[in-house]
Amino acid sequence: MDKSNGYEKVAKTFSEVRGQIVDGIGASSVSMWAQTLPKGSVILDLGCGTGIPITKVLIDEGMSVYGVDASPTLAQAFRKNFPHCPIACEQVEDSLFFNRSFDAIIAWGLLFLLPKDNQAMVIRKMAEVLRIGGKLLFTAPSSISEWTDILTGQQSRSLGTKKYKEILSAVGLSLIEEFEDDGENHYYHAVKVR
């Protein structure tokens, strides 16, 4: 059974399309977010893929990054690209990195790939390992929607802004900002307040 939400099957294509472009969609938005964090912050990158462009941006901004990706092929590429960054090849829902604590967490292009209940569970787990004042950045459409992912053919779903705000609030996170990038990806930026 593929635990990578379809990404292992398309890892080569994904690497060619997304995993080689260092200034790809999301890079500038993540860079601006990273600049709000103290240099040297320890960041968990969930669904990190090859690490390009997101992890690379974070490292270039002076951060220490841990990666998680369920695709063995993408995790191997991440390890090759960033040999000094810890990487776990596992489903984010079961990540052993949830036994650590982090200054910030990013989940770019990931949450909406998970079933609805798993999205809430992963947000709760992220909140548990974020330090007070720690920041979370994730992407998902602002409206409640379901669609078939073009690359993987897998069902994707967004809970919508109202539901994400409810979940964040219930686990001690406050949504401080929403914005979109040039690729029309919708970002949720939250901070741990309790």
pLDDT digits (tens, 9 = 90+) for 38-80: 999 999 999 999 999 999 999 999 999 999 999 999 999 999 9
**Are the beta carbons of 14 and 151 closer than 8 angstroms?**
yes
The domain locations on the chain are 11-192
Of 3.40.950.10, 3.40.50.1820, 3.40.50.280, 3.40.50.150, which CATH number belongs to 11-192? 3.40.50.150
Q: Is residue 1's pLDDT more than 90?
A: no
- 8 confidence band (pLDDT: 50, 70, 90): confident
Q: What is the pLDDT of residue 26?
A: 84
**Torsion on CA atoms 55, 60, 63, 65, rounded to nearest 10:** 20
Q: What is the pLDDT of residue 174?
A: 98
Closest to 118 (Cα-Cα) out of 33, 14, 46, 190: 46
d(CA 193, CA 78): 32
The pLDDT mean for the chain works out to 92
Q: Is residue 100's pLDDT more than 70?
A: yes
Within the chain, what is the greatest distance between any pair of CA atoms? 41
pLDDT digits (tens, 9 = 90+) for 139-156: 999 999 999 988 888 899
Q: Out of 4-8, 79-83, 104-108, pick the least confident.
A: 4-8
pTM here? 0.92
- 19 confidence band (pLDDT: 50, 70, 90): low
Q: Out of 25-29, 56-60, 189-193, pick the least confident.
A: 25-29
What residues are paired with 128 via a beta bridge?
none
Q: What is the pLDDT of residue 54?
A: 95
